[in-house]
Structure 1
Amino acid sequence: MNKMQRLAYLGPEGTFTNEAAKRATNEDEVELIPYPDIQTLILAIANQEENWGIVPIENSLEGSVNMTLDLLAHKVDLKIIKEVLMPINHHLIGQPGAKLSEIKKVLSHRQALAQCRDNLNQILNDFEAINTNSTAEAVYSIKNKDNNFGAIGSKLVAEINGLSILANNIQDNRSNWTRFIVLGAKDSQEVKHAKTSLICSPSKDRPGILYEILKEFAMRDINLTKIESRPARKMLGDYIFFIDFKGHRKEESIKETLLALEKKTSFIKILGSYPQVKLK
């Protein structure tokens, strides 16, 4: 019997990363392994302790996950083999039979509390917001509490802990999506309608150099989906650029672009060409 492949995710069980992992993979073929933080998870893949890992890289409301970007740029040589886009729906969770009027304390990760602040103020009379390390930790911590305690989390974590959804979809902004990436040591198989990610650093800091880099994409009708700068961790004012674009790096126009970029950059790192999965 073949040994089951392992996919590490940002735990504990019941996090949104866990939900993305479960929905984007076949659990009969992959064993899901929780990790306490992004750095430990990514280094475990780099050290071949795990086959793959899934981590958040960007949220539509909060922006990029800098820890993920910095590790990919400076610490590891891993490939993105899949992108998973998932809507983030927050729910108010409590004891079975609890009423909204009974809730006096609401626990969750600070981002979840901030993203639900207006709706919480409308549906609850008066409450204390309490920060936790994750939404999953918040829900787990109220498991044995009384009806005065609520938590913000996913349907998955409510089911895991045997708790009830007291109010559905309480996020203030319904356009809340998180982009997750699956990382591995080897590149993804070639697919149609791929997306490619790279990191580069201009060869010289001079006026117009970023324009010259981006011009190489525009000249060949390559659609950029994201560009972001991060400190190069050298001199103050030195930056590297993360660039995402549509297409596979083996396509002729993209190969030409990458060749041209080599002449305008001192450093270029291809993070991968990979398929995208959009969950509902």
Structure 2
Amino acid sequence: MAGGTADECGSRLKPVTSELRTYSYLGPAGTFTEAALAQVPEARGQRWVPVRNVGEALADVVEGRSDAAVIAIENSVDGGVSTAQDALATVPGLRITGEFLVPVEFVLVGREGATLEDVSLVAAHPVAYAQCLQWLTRTVPAHAHLPAASNVASAIGLLDGTSDADAAISPPGILDHHDLTLLAANIGDNPDAVTRFVLVSRTTAPPPPTGADKTSLVVELPDDHPGALLEMLEQFATRGINLSLLASRPIGDALGRYRFVIDADGHIQDERMADALLGLRRFSPRVIFLGSYPRADRSIVHYPERYSDDVFVEARDWLRGLISGAPED
């Protein structure tokens, strides 16, 4: 495995005790999640453990089998990954410490000796199939689709005899781990498609602000009344904070009850962000702080000068002076 070592059995049976750090990721080897983990500087040369789903990855972290896990949280084509968002909202003791972007590229692979002309049945995860459908329609118009459990399982089925497909849609990394024939590369219909992954650890203090940061939250509305969502959004708007993600997810206890997954530009140590969190805490029955961490694109967060830290500090000092009876300038 590039950048790490995989222990698919032993390291999952007991808490981490070795000097190596352990990272869980959605496996098997060759997935987009593995490509995201390869971007984590501190994970290089450490132990990488493939898991079968997001819940298993986060359980590894909470129960101490792994030091951190990488999970997909958002896709530029399909939107938020609901299973990951729901897990982060309901599993306590987790903190996002970083994010990483992976271009969504797909290849068509076959067994040794296969050619593109041989293809009539294509194995693919339904999401991957949908993102390659235009290319398939143009190039293999008479094909049929065989749904697969994952992007990597579609290809492995060709090798272990469990699939009747002639070819499979998979991530490019599959070719680094399995003897497959590349039939076509870059077959995705959207060349700009990107998946965002986050690095999740047990609860810890956020890394220091860099000026190019993002804060992730989960917020529940207090009740269902006209303007409730607007009241929540005003906590950010009145402090000059831009939201890069706002997704609703059902809480599950009744119809019409939703929580909101939010990514806000800035760091919890920024005065404007801290003030917004205080406002949310007063407004919402439940606010989950998922973390403040550097943006993957390292883009500096810009905001109007009237929302700078100095303005918030000066206003607070002014109020303290009024309360203390200090003479005004």
Say whether the fold is shared (TM-score over 0.5).
Answer: yes
Query: Does residue 42 of the first structure (1) align with residue 58 of the second (2)?
Result: yes
Alpha-carbon separation, structure 1, partners of 2:64 and 2:19:
15
What code does the residue aligned with 1:266 have? P
8 A contact 1:94–1:147 mirrored in 2: no
Q: Tell me which of 118, 121, 127 is aligned to 1:111.
A: 127
In structure 2, the partner of 1:209 is: 228
Q: Which has the larger radius of gyration?
A: 2
Q: Tell me which of 188, 193, 199 is aligned to 1:182.
A: 199
TM-score (norm 2): 0.79
Equivalence map 1:136-151=2 (5 Å): 136-143=152-159, 149-151=166-168
What code does the residue aligned with 1:191 have? P
> Could you give the per-residue CA deviations for residues 184-224 of structure 1, whole angstroms, max 9, x where no partner exists?
00244113111001111122322112112211211121111
Which shows bigger deviation, 182-191 or 222-231? 182-191
Alpha-carbon separation, structure 1, partners of 2:142 and 2:197:
35
Equivalence map 1:7-86=2 (5 Å): 7-25=23-41, 28-86=44-102
- After superposition, the Cα gap between the structure-2 partners of 1:230 and 1:156, relative to the gap in structure 1 and judged at 3 Å, is same
TM-score (norm 1): 0.92
Query: Does residue 165 of the first structure (1) align with residue 165 of the second (2)?
Result: no
Q: Tell me which of 234, 248, 251 is aligned to 2:253.
A: 234
8 A contact 1:95–1:163 mirrored in 2: yes
The alignment yields a C-alpha RMSD, in angstroms, of: 2.1
Q: Tell me which of 191, 216, 224 is aligned to 2:243.
A: 224
8 A contact 1:94–1:149 mirrored in 2: yes
Match of 2:38, SS state, is helix
Alpha-carbon separation, structure 2, partners of 1:208 and 1:118:
42
Alpha-carbon separation, structure 2, partners of 1:262 and 1:103:
57
Query: Does residue 126 of the first structure (1) align with residue 145 of the second (2)?
Result: no
In structure 1, the partner of 2:270 is: 251
> Could you give the per-residue CA deviations for residues 61-91 of structure 1, whole angstroms, max 9, x where no partner exists?
2221111111111233200111111110011
> Could you give the per-residue CA deviations for residues 73-124 of structure 1, whole angstroms, max 9, x where no partner exists?
1233200111111110011112344321112221121111111112112212
Tell me how far 1:24 sits from its aligned partner: 3.2
Give unmatched runs, 5+ long, in structure 2. 1-17, 299-329
- After superposition, the Cα gap between the structure-2 partners of 1:144 and 1:223, relative to the gap in structure 1 and judged at 3 Å, is same
Alpha-carbon separation, structure 2, partners of 1:86 and 1:238:
33
Which shows bigger deviation, 174-183 or 94-103? 94-103
Alpha-carbon separation, structure 2, partners of 1:259 and 1:148:
55
Q: Which has the higher contact order (CA 8 A, sep 6+)?
A: 1
Alpha-carbon separation, structure 1, partners of 2:241 and 2:273:
8
8 A contact 1:99–1:147 mirrored in 2: no
What code does the residue aligned with 1:45 have? V
- After superposition, the Cα gap between the structure-2 partners of 1:33 and 1:92, relative to the gap in structure 1 and judged at 3 Å, is same
Tell me how far 1:25 sits from its aligned partner: 3.7
What code does the residue aligned with 1:76 have? P
Q: Tell me which of 266, 274, 279 is aligned to 2:293.
A: 274
Structure having the higher strand fraction is 1
Instruction: Give the share of equivalent positions with the same residue, in percent.
Output: 31
Which shows bigger deviation, 219-228 or 120-129? 120-129
8 A contact 2:158–2:165 mirrored in 1: no
Alpha-carbon separation, structure 2, partners of 1:21 and 1:141:
24
What code does the residue aligned with 2:123 have? L
Alpha-carbon separation, structure 2, partners of 1:12 and 1:147:
21
Aligned length in residues: 278
Give unmatched runs, 5+ long, in structure 1. none
What code does the residue aligned with 1:70 have? D
> Could you give the per-residue CA deviations for residues 138-179 of structure 1, whole angstroms, max 9, x where no partner exists?
112213669972111122112210223211111112231111
Alpha-carbon separation, structure 1, partners of 2:214 and 2:49:
27
Alpha-carbon separation, structure 2, partners of 1:154 and 1:260:
43
